[in-house]
Amino acid sequence: MSASGPLVGYKIIELAGIGPNPMCAMLLADMGAEVIRVDRVVDAGLGIPMDEKYALLDRSRRSIAVDLKQPEGVELILGMVEKSDALIEGFRAGVTERLGIGPEDCFARNEKLIYGRVTGWGQDGPLAKAAGHDINYIALAGAAYPIGNADRPPSPPLNLIGDFGGGGMLLAVGVLAGLLEVQKSGKGQVVDAAMTDGVATLMTAVYGMHAAGLWTDKRESNILDGGAHFYDCYETSDSRYISIASIESKFYAELLERTGFEDPDQAAHKDKAQWPDTSVQMADLIKTKTRDEWCELLEGTDICFAPVLSMSEAPDHPHNMARETFIKDNGVVQPAPSPRFSRTPSKIQKPPSPHGGDTEAVLLDWGIPEQELAHLKDKRVVA
């Protein structure tokens, strides 16, 4: 099956890792780039163990297994770098340099290479070489503190903000920008995507409100953190949930009209001091109907409303079905590639490959002679 997407023709090497790096690689591969995942010869147990068909971040690309602790393994990758447009990696600062495949090693082989690196703390700074995970990075950037109930510690928002938003997507944007710039300059460069930086960038608007005195450091007291009765999730009579986001006055007016909620002159909408009591009143009102009843009354209106769906429910919602937001590939229901392109549509190029499952085919495709491949296999440089 031929590749499809706006990045068809680009070749990218992915040094396998967890979290943001495979997210970036999946995005680029879904958009048509030939991304080769370089796994270890001996599986190091990266990530959460599961059948490869469910490791959806590994989709759309092939896998080779290479021992980067052997000089011939390093030389193999550097040879592939010569034919590549970009390399992405997610090791701690300094690791690839010690392996002999750091930026300068790669630029010596290909001065046009975009060298994308994603870490939690960045390539420098006091914490650069420390271990960490998503919740640590969003905590340091000020994004964890505002999330959750006022009377409890902050709630972990899955690993969406650090790993995937502030990390993987930030790296993808950086790599794409680098690929555009190299067309003008003819010179590659390093993209240093730190999750602490990326999360801080995601928080730009909230930091603006904080600086303006419109956002306090107390959870559940602000317009977007559950403090406002018109922007929150509520439990329904059947123990399900709905979301309301009637921020603008015209949307709030429709909320009042359709639900019968009373707020003369929208006084409580404008006065933060009234929000705590009004939130209780709104919660009581929402509990008078089931989720489906609220959907029938409010969905599709300008109230800014949606049911809160579980992951089991979301693929079957009529809107998601109409847009094919979720598709089934290789027997697994999963999010479809995004964003969408009118002329060069992205697609899932192939199901996730098993660890090192495409080594021979990839290396032959990339011009490695059969005799050399046999030698590398005999020495366990590749597997």
The Cβ-side half-sphere exposure at 277, using a 13 Å CA radius, reads 8
Task: Tell me: pLDDT of 46 over 80.
Answer: no
The CATH class, in words, for 231-319 is alpha beta
Tell me the pLDDT band of 42, cut-offs 50, 70 and 90: confident
- pLDDT of the residue at 209: 98
Which residues lie below 8 Å from residue 73, measured CB to CB, with a gap of 6+?
Answer: 66, 67, 381, 382
**Which residue intervals of the chain bear CATH 3.30.1540.10?**
231-319
Tell me the pLDDT band of 247, cut-offs 50, 70 and 90: very high
Q: CB-based burial of residue 152 (10 Å sphere; 0-12 exposed, 13-18 middle, 19+ buried)?
A: exposed
Contacts 24+ apart (CB under 8 A), 186-192: 186/111, 186/112, 187/111, 187/112, 188/107, 188/110, 188/111, 188/112, 188/113, 188/114, 188/115, 189/114, 189/115, 190/103, 190/115, 190/116, 190/117, 191/114, 191/115, 191/116, 191/117, 192/117, 192/122, 192/123
Tell me the pLDDT band of 49, cut-offs 50, 70 and 90: confident
- pLDDT of the residue at 48: 72
- How far is residue 318 from each of residues 59, 135, 190, 301, measured CA to CA in Å? 26, 34, 43, 16
Can you tell me the mean pLDDT for 189-206?
98
Can you tell me the mean pLDDT for 224-230?
97
**What SS3 state is found at 303?**
coil
The Cβ-side half-sphere exposure at 151, using a 13 Å CA radius, reads 0
Q: Which two tokens stand for residue 263?
A: 């707020």
pLDDT in tens, 125-141: 999 999 999 999 999 99
Task: Tell me: pLDDT of 43 over 90.
Answer: no
Tell me which of 41-55, 104-118, 186-200 is least confident. Answer: 41-55
Which residues lie below 8 Å from residue 47, measured CB to CB, with a gap of 6+?
Answer: 18, 55
pLDDT in tens, 265-323: 999 999 999 999 999 999 999 999 999 999 999 999 999 999 999 999 999 999 999 99
**Which residue intervals of the chain bear CATH 3.40.50.10540?**
11-202+327-378
pLDDT in tens, 326-359: 999 999 999 999 999 999 999 999 999 999 999 9
Q: Which two tokens stand for residue 5?
A: 């997407």
**What SS3 state is found at 173?**
helix
Query: Could you count the other beta carbons within 10 Å of the beta carbon of residue 24?
Result: 29
- Round to whole Å and give the CA distance between 104 and 325: 41
The proportion of the chain whose per-residue pLDDT surpasses 90, expressed as a percent, equals 97
Can you tell me the mean pLDDT for 25-36?
98
Q: Are 101 and 94 in contact (CB under 8 A)?
A: no
Q: Report the catalytic residues.
A: 133, 163
Can you tell me the mean pLDDT for 143-167?
96
- pLDDT of the residue at 58: 96
- Round to whole Å and give the CA distance between 346 and 31: 5
Please calculate the CA angle 40-42-44 and round it to the nearest 5 degrees: 75
Residue-averaged pLDDT of the chain:
96
Using the Cα atoms of residue 146, residue 149, residue 150 and residue 153 in order, give the sign of their dihedral.
Answer: negative
- Round to whole Å and give the CA distance between 23 and 144: 21
- pLDDT of the residue at 50: 84
Q: Are 175 and 29 in contact (CB under 8 A)?
A: no
Q: Are 143 and 203 in contact (CB under 8 A)?
A: yes
- How far is residue 187 from each of residues 88, 123, 165, 354, measured CA to CA in Å? 17, 21, 28, 35
CATH number assigned to the domain covering 11-202+327-378: 3.40.50.10540
Q: Pinpoint the alpha helices (H) of 287-331.
A: 291-298, 318-323
Task: Tell me: pLDDT of 365 over 80.
Answer: yes
Instruction: Please state the pTM of the whole predicted model.
Output: 0.95
